[in-house]
Structures are given as structure tokens and as C-alpha cells.
Amino acid sequence: MLNVQKAALFAISALGGLSNAKDIYVSPTGTGTGTSTSPYGSIQSAVNAAAAGDTIFLKAGTYKPTTNIQFKTNGTRTSPITVRSYQTEKVIIDGENLPGTPYGLDESLPNKERGIFHIQYANYWKFYNLELINGPYGIYARDASHNYYELITTHDNYETGFQIEGASSNNTVLYLDSYRNRDPRKNGESADGFACKSGSGEGNVLRNARLWDNVDDGLDLFMFGSPVTIEEVYSFQNGFNRWGFSNFNGDGNGFKLGITGNPPANHIVRNSIAYSNAKKGFIDNGNPGSLTVERNTAWNNGDVGFNFRSSSSSLKSNIAAVNVGSAQVTLVSTVKASGNSWQSGTWSNSSFVSVDPSTLQKARLSNGRVPSSEFLIPKSGEALGATTKADV
């Protein structure tokens, strides 16, 4: 067949594929049927109407659902279902009117009421550029795989901002900002910035995220039995009682990477920073696996920088400096450590080009990444610790 004919056929079949996919519109003031000129008012209506290949566009404004938005259908690998802000419009989904915001101390939060977005048995979805606030969890994705999240912000929720749980694999979370999440229901015991918890599944990735001012830990992989990949994640100022909770239970670690008795989970943590957290920077929390921990920096935390009690983790080219603990690190003797800052002399604030985190905390760049800076770059020029510079 001539190449021209092949190309024409390809174009026709591609159009055929596209023509099945619909665009569905929602607006906070909508009263219509989901078209661009007559959008739905309810995100749930759009989610219910969506099939593989469809795109749901949320128009600018603040949505205030009164029931948790349930995702329970599947896209496919080649035709995922997309939920995104229309163009680059600002979309806020405010969960304050949902049940459980908050329930009383020690009351339980039923599964279906977890998450402004409750994503369960729902695979091949993509989410872009959405802000979820004041919910009973922001994103709660359980038994959900092959989903992709980009530029999601979750803050001031009454539980963890973004949680993956259960049998969940191959999820990618890129450019997450998750902050000031807290749990009055538990006096700070449970609300993290990001958690991938209580479950298993390969291929979950968190990359270029900022997790700060959360009541418990910045990141928690409690009881997750498979490796999670964490790269370019900045976890700071977590674990302080900013809400005046009595019997405060916040843990305040930057990165909590397991739990004693977990099935061993060989998590990978690279190029990430824990700073100014109430307690420790990076901890395996007794995870008996072999974690790979490379080019990370723990600075100015309220306790040790790295606390690894597991038998065989590998710590390479990390920095622990200016942490306020009995030591910069506490490592069981069987941890394999090489080329880390604590193996080469004394480090202080003056060892760094900059100890000013303010650039890291500024608005993201148009490509989604956090702005790069000299924050915690060794003055010596040694290839040690994390860098926010994209060229590494």
C-alpha cells in the first residue's frame, strides 16, 4: 500500500477513535447537561457520564459538593478518562460541606466518606491542575491502579491530603503540593501530606512534591508492602501543633518509610529533602527491607537526620546536618553507608551555599517544577545531598 494511503487510513482510524470520546463540562454555576454552553453543576454527574477516552473539563471557581465524589469506573490503558481544569483556570473543590469535616474525637470515618475524591476500583484516570481543600482527606485512592495525578494541591483537609491505599499499583503523582492537613478526630495522629499506606502494589511513584505544615508526618508509607519510588520530594515543618489540639499526637517526621513487621518494602528515596520538621528527617520506622536512600538531605530537623533500624538498607551520598538530635544519624550496624556527609567531617550551616528555603517555597514554574535554588548545596562542590536544580 502506498504510504499516502496508509497515512490517510491512519488519520481516519485516529479520528474514528477520537469521535467516540466526548468532552464533558462542569461549572460551579452550571445547571445543564454537560456541554460547553450548558455545563453540569455537579462533578459527580460528569464522572457518572464519563467513559473511556472522555475528558471532564472543570471551569474556574469553587465547587462545594455535599456528597463525596465517587470514582468507580475504568478508563483503559490507551483511553484513560481525564479530569482537569479547563485550560489553566483555577479550580478549587471545597469539601467543607461533606460529612466528617470533622467527626468528633475518636469517631470513625466510614470508607466511602474518605476523600473529596473517593477513587476505588477505578483505574486509568488522569487528573490535572486541581486544588482540594477542607475535605475528609483530599484525594483518597484505594484499590485503584494506573492513575496519574499532576499539579494537584491538597490543603487544610481533616485527614491526610493525598492517600493511596489497598491493592494499588502503577500510580504516578507528579507536582503535588500538600500542606496544613490535620485531623482533630485523632489529635494529630494520622494526617500526613502524602501517604501510601496499608496495602501493596508495584510501580507507585511520587515526584517533585512539597509536603509541609502537616500535623503528623510529611510522608508516610505505613504498612505498604511494596517498593514506592520517592524522588525530588521536599518535606518540611511537619508535626507542630498549629491547631491547639490537646493530647497532641503528631509525629513530625519528614519521611516515614515503613513499620516494624511490614512485609519488607524496598522503597527508593532519592534527591529529597527533609528540613525543619518537628522530629526526624528520614526514618525506616523498623521496615525490615533493603531501602535505597541516595542523595538526600536532612537539615535542621528537631531530632536525628536519618534513623535506620532495618538490617540492610543502602545509604549513599546523603547529607545530615544541623539536626538537633543526640547525633546526626542513628543507623543499625548492618546498614550499608557510603560517601555520606557524616562519614566526612563536620557539617554546619556554613557548609552550604545557602540555608534559605524561601525559593523552594515559591510558586511552581510553568513546567510544573519547584523553582531551583542553591538551598543546601554544599559549598565544597561535592556531589552530596539533594539539589532542586533540574540538571542533576
Contact at 8 Å (CB) between 296 and 272?
yes
Nine cell digits for residue 171 = 500510580
**C-alpha span between 200 and 96 (Å, rounded):** 31
Instruction: Tell me if the bond preceding 102 is cis, omega within 30° of 0.
Output: yes
Nine cell digits for residue 273 = 529533602
Contact at 8 Å (CB) between 349 and 325?
no
User: Considering beta carbons, is residue 234 or 308 the nearer one to ligand NAG?
Assistant: 234
User: Which one of 44-52, 72-80, 211-219, 260-268 is the stretch in contact with ligand NAG (CB under 6 A)?
Assistant: 72-80
**C-alpha span between 327 and 66 (Å, rounded):** 49
Which of these is catalytic: 59, 256, 279, 280? 256
Known catalytic membership, residue 336: no
**C-alpha span between 245 and 38 (Å, rounded):** 45
User: Considering beta carbons, is residue 58 or 376 the nearer one to ligand NAG?
Assistant: 376
User: Which one of 68-76, 157-165, 244-252, 329-337 is the stretch in contact with ligand NAG (CB under 6 A)?
Assistant: 68-76
Count of residues engaged in binding ligand NAG, rule: CB under 6 A: 14
User: Considering beta carbons, is residue 187 or 300 the nearer one to ligand NAG?
Assistant: 300
User: Which one of 11-19, 25-33, 71-79, 266-274 is the stretch in contact with ligand NAG (CB under 6 A)?
Assistant: 71-79
CA angle in degrees (0–180, nearest 5) for 353-355-360: 105
Q: Does 300 bind ligand NAG (CB under 6 A)?
A: yes
User: Considering beta carbons, is residue 140 or 245 the nearer one to ligand NAG?
Assistant: 140
Nine cell digits for residue 335 = 546498614
Q: Does 322 bind ligand NAG (CB under 6 A)?
A: yes
Q: How far is the CB of 289 from ligand NAG (least distance, A)?
A: 19
Q: Does 141 bind ligand NAG (CB under 6 A)?
A: no
Under rule CB under 6 A, which residues in 186-215 are in contact with ligand NAG? 202-203
Q: Does 169 bind ligand NAG (CB under 6 A)?
A: yes
Choice from 67, 349, 358, 380 touching ligand NAG (CB under 6 A): 349
User: Which one of 69-77, 90-98, 131-139, 376-384 is the stretch in contact with ligand NAG (CB under 6 A)?
Assistant: 69-77
CA angle in degrees (0–180, nearest 5) for 156-161-164: 170
Under rule CB under 6 A, which residues in 121-140 are in contact with ligand NAG? 121, 123
Nine cell digits for residue 81 = 478518562
* Helices within the chain (DSSP H only): 3-20, 43-49
Choice from 355, 369, 372, 382 touching ligand NAG (CB under 6 A): 355
Q: How far is the CB of 61 from ligand NAG (least distance, A)?
A: 30
Across-strand partners of 299? Answer: 275, 321
> What is the phi-psi region of residue 169: left when phi exceeds 0, alpha when psi lies from -120 to 50, beta otherwise?
beta
Which residues, at least 6 apart from 122, have a Cβ–Cβ distance to it below 8 Å?
71, 72, 73, 74, 144, 147
DSSP state of 304: -
Q: How far is the CB of 73 from ligand NAG (least distance, A)?
A: 5
Catalytic residue numbers, as ranges: 256
- State the residues that interact with ligand NAG by CB under 6 A: 72-74, 121, 123, 145, 169-170, 202-203, 300, 322, 349, 355
